[in-house]
Amino acid sequence: MAESVAGVRPDAVAEKEARDRSPTRGPSRVPHVPAGLERIRTLVVDDHEHIARLVANRIATLVREKDAAGETAVLGLATGSTPIGVYRELIRMHREDGLTFQHVATFNLDEYYPMPKESIHSYYRFMWENLFSQIDIRPENVHIPDGTTPRERVDDYCRRYEDAIADAGGIDFQILGIGKTGHIGFNEPGSGAHSRTRLVTLDAITRLDAAADFFGEEFVPREAITMGVATILDAHEIAILATGEHKSSIVRRAVEGDIDVEVAATFLQRHADTTFYVDRAAGAELTRIKTPWLIDEVQWAQELMVRAVIWLSQQTNKAILKLTQRDYAEHKMSALVAKYGTPGEVNGKVFNILGAKIRGKSKLPTHQRIICFSPHPDDDVISMGGILRKLVENENEITIAYQTSGNIAVFDHDVRRYVDFLVRTAGNGLIDPAKVGTLAETVYAFLERKRPGEVDIPEVQDIKRIIREAEAVSGIETVGLPRGAARFLNLPFYQTGKVRKEAIGPKDVAIVRALLEEIGPQQIFVAGDLSDPHGTHRMCKEAIDRALDESQVLGLRPETWLYRGAWQEWPIHEATWLVPLSQEELRLKIQAIFKHQSQKDSAPFPGGYDEREFWQRVEARNKGTAAELDRLGLAEYFAMEAYVVEE
C-alpha cells in the first residue's frame, strides 16, 4: 500500500517524514489513499538529493546486514542521470563512514549493442567512472552486460548472465529508472512479464531520448542487451526512481494504471516489495497530489484552494466567478464552500489572489542590481526575454551570468562555416594568414577523422564556445542590454567535452560566489527547470545555492526568482508572479532567441519530449499562460511569463 511504512528498516523514519511532507511546500497531512488507487508503494519527497539519501541509506543498511551475517549483498544497478546521486552518496559513505563493498556483487540492467567498453557511451565505462573506481568493490564481483559479444553468441551469453545472477543467490536490491514509454531497463513496449535477459530492439522514443548523449539520434544504437521483466521481478526488493516534470505522466500511469504489456513498469505492481521514489515534480500527476480532495478530506490551505478552484474552472469550462454551489458539490468540494460560507466568497478570493499575481512594468524592480543566471548561453532570452526588456526600461543594473559555455550544443558544420569565414578573412589580408592556416588545418583534420560522439579537441571546443558567446551577446543586445552586461563564467564542472558532467565542486561554487560578492545583487533570476534533459540546469542551481549559503553579500540574501521556459512553464497556481507581455515584447523576445543561430532550426539537444524549436515553445507557452488566465475570467493579455519567488 502506498502509505505503509516498513518498520523494520533503519530508514523508516526518513520514509515516514517524506510521506508527511507536502509535494508543494512545508508539512501537511497526506490524504489517505484508497486501496487499489496506488498499486505501487510511492514516496514523494522534496528533491532528487532526498531520493539519493533514502536509497543510498537503504543500500548501506542491506550491505552492512549481509556483511555482518557473512553473506554477499547482491545489487542490481542502473545507469543514467537519475541514479548518479545515489552512487555519489554511496561513494561518500564509503569514504567518510567506512562503508565497505568488499562483499558486494553487482549486476547491471543493460548495455547498448554493439558497444565497445571504452566508448564514452558505454554503460561499462559509466559505471566504472561514476561508482566502481571510487569504492573498494572487487572487480570480479562486477557484472555488466557485454556489448562486444559476437552476435552469434548473444543468446548463450544472455543465458549465462541469468545463470550468474542465480548462482549469486538472486538480486537483493534492484535500482530502476523509468523511461518516457514506461520502460524499465530496456524492456520496451511489448516486453512480456516472463521475459529474461536478451537482445532487444530499441523503441524510437527511447532512441530520441538518448540522442543528446550520442550527439544525434542517428548515432544511437538500435539494439541493447537488457535484463528481462521476469529477471527484475525476481529481485527481493526494488527501488524505482523518477525526477522531473517530464516523468509525471508516466509515473501516474505506472502507479495508478492497469498492468499493460505496453508499459513495462506496470508489471512492478505484482512485486511485493517495490518502492517508487519520486520528487515533487515527478509526482505531480498522482491523484493524491493533483486532486487530493477527490479521495479524502483535506485541509483547505490557500495554495490548495487556488489550485482546486482553477481545476474546477477547467473541468466545468466556466470562469471562476461563474462557479456555482452545484459545481463544487459535483466535484467533491463542498467542504471548501462550507469553510467560506458561499461559492461567491470562494470565487472572489481565488479571483483576487490570481489577479494580484499579475505584475506589469510599473510593479517590477527599478534601479536595482540584478543578476540573471543563465545555465546555457540562451536560457536567459528563451525563459525571461520579456521581463529582461522591462527591467532594462526600468533602469536596473543588470548582469547576465552565463554559467556554462554550451559548447557541446554546437554542430560541427557550424565550426567548419566559421573556420571557413576566418580563412576567407585572412585571404583578404584582414587577419594573420599564418595563424589562421594552422588553426584551419588542425580543425579540418580533426573533423575529418572524428568518430560519432568523440570528444572535441580543445581548438574545436574553444571555437564552439566562442560561437555561443557571440550569439549570447547579440541576444541581450536585442532586448536592450549593453555588450558588457554579459559575463561568461565557464564553470569547471561543464568542461568535460561530454554530455555527462562532473559533480558541482568548490571551484564552481567559488566562481559564482565571487560574482555575487562583486555585484552585491538585490535580486537574482535562476533557472528552476528540472526537465533539462542533461541536468545542467539543476547543477547550475546547486552551484548558486551553495554560493549563496557561503556568501555574505552585504549581509543580505538577494530575492531569488525562478524561471522556466526551455522545457516547461510554471503553472498559474504555482507562479508567484505573472508578467504580461505585449505583442511587440513577445516579438522582440523571439528575435533575441533567433540570434542563437547555432540552436536554430535543429538544436543538438532539443529534449526528447518536445520536438518544437525553442522559439515555438516560448510563443506557445507564453500565449498559453495568458489564454489560461483569460479562460479563468481574468483580464485578457497577449502573452505572459511566469516566475516563482523562492522562499
Q: Quick one: pLDDT band at residue 34, thresholds 50, 70, 90?
A: confident
Whether 25 has a pLDDT exceeding 50, the answer reads: no
Separation of alpha carbons 447 and 601, rounded Å? 22
Q: Quick one: pLDDT band at residue 612, thresholds 50, 70, 90?
A: confident
Within-domain flag for 210: yes
Within-domain flag for 431: no
* DSSP run (H or E) holding 8: none
Answer yes or no: do 306 and 243 share one domain.
no
Answer yes or no: do 306 and 242 share one domain.
no
* Residues 346-370, mean pLDDT to the nearest whole number: 98
Within-domain flag for 324: yes
Q: Quick one: pLDDT band at residue 14, thresholds 50, 70, 90?
A: very low
Within-domain flag for 443: no
Whether 27 has a pLDDT exceeding 70, the answer reads: no
Residue 521 three-state SS: coil
Separation of alpha carbons 264 and 421, rounded Å? 51
pLDDT in tens, 245-273: 889 999 999 999 999 999 999 999 999 99
* DSSP run (H or E) holding 557: none
* Residues 484-508, mean pLDDT to the nearest whole number: 85
How many alpha carbons fall within 13 Å on the CB side of residue 308?
28
Within-domain flag for 432: no
Given the DSSP bridges, would you call strands 223-226 and 110-113 parallel, antiparallel or unpaired?
A: antiparallel
Which pLDDT value is given to residue 535?
A: 79
Whether 10 has a pLDDT exceeding 80, the answer reads: no
Whether residue 28 contacts residue 301, with contact meaning beta carbons closer than 8 Å, is answered with yes
Answer yes or no: do 470 and 539 share one domain.
yes
* Residues 384-397, mean pLDDT to the nearest whole number: 98
The lowest-confidence range among 9-13, 332-336, 478-482, 614-618 is 9-13
* Residues 616-636, mean pLDDT to the nearest whole number: 96
Answer yes or no: do 266 and 391 share one domain.
no
Which pLDDT value is given to residue 632?
A: 98
Separation of alpha carbons 320 and 355, rounded Å? 12
End of a domain among 247, 263, 288? 288
Answer yes or no: do 44 and 69 share one domain.
yes
> What DSSP character marks residue 257?
S
Separation of alpha carbons 389 and 405, rounded Å? 23
Which pLDDT value is given to residue 378?
A: 95
Given the DSSP bridges, would you call strands 639-645 and 559-563 parallel, antiparallel or unpaired?
A: antiparallel
Higher model confidence: residue 421 or residue 24? 421
End of a domain among 288, 312, 335? 288
* Residues 137-162, mean pLDDT to the nearest whole number: 98
Which pLDDT value is given to residue 495?
A: 82
Nearest of 177, 130, 96 to residue 502 by alpha carbon: 130
Q: Could you give the residue numbers annotated as active site?
A: 188
Answer yes or no: do 141 and 252 share one domain.
yes
Which pLDDT value is given to residue 30?
A: 55
Within-domain flag for 450: no
Answer yes or no: do 139 and 176 share one domain.
yes
Answer yes or no: do 280 and 309 share one domain.
no
Helices (H), 99-175: 123-130, 154-167
Whether 482 has a pLDDT exceeding 50, the answer reads: yes
Answer yes or no: do 305 and 214 share one domain.
no
Which pLDDT value is given to residue 211?
A: 77
Whether 604 has a pLDDT exceeding 70, the answer reads: no
Which pLDDT value is given to residue 530?
A: 67
pLDDT in tens, 98-116: 999 999 999 999 999 999 9
Within-domain flag for 100: yes
Whether 6 has a pLDDT exceeding 50, the answer reads: no
Whether 568 has a pLDDT exceeding 90, the answer reads: no
Answer yes or no: do 200 and 221 share one domain.
yes
Check which CATH number belongs to the domain holding 260 and give it: 3.40.50.1360
Answer yes or no: do 400 and 464 share one domain.
yes
Q: Quick one: pLDDT band at residue 130, thresholds 50, 70, 90?
A: very high
> Average pLDDT over the chain, rounded to whole?
91
Please give the model's pTM, rounded to 2 decimal places. 0.85
Within-domain flag for 217: yes
Whether 456 has a pLDDT exceeding 80, the answer reads: yes
Which pLDDT value is given to residue 602?
A: 67
The lowest-confidence range among 21-30, 313-322, 441-450, 566-575 is 21-30
Which pLDDT value is given to residue 2?
A: 38
Domain that holds residue 230: 12-288
Number of folded domains that form the chain: 3
Answer yes or no: do 324 and 375 share one domain.
no
Whether 1 has a pLDDT exceeding 60, the answer reads: no
Q: Quick one: pLDDT band at residue 120, thresholds 50, 70, 90?
A: confident
Q: Quick one: pLDDT band at residue 500, thresholds 50, 70, 90?
A: low
Check which CATH number belongs to the domain holding 396 and give it: 3.40.50.10320
Higher model confidence: residue 21 or residue 436? 436
Nearest of 4, 14, 20 to residue 89 by alpha carbon: 14
Q: What percent of the chain has pLDDT over 90?
A: 79
* Residues 31-57, mean pLDDT to the nearest whole number: 90
pLDDT in tens, 467-478: 999 999 999 999
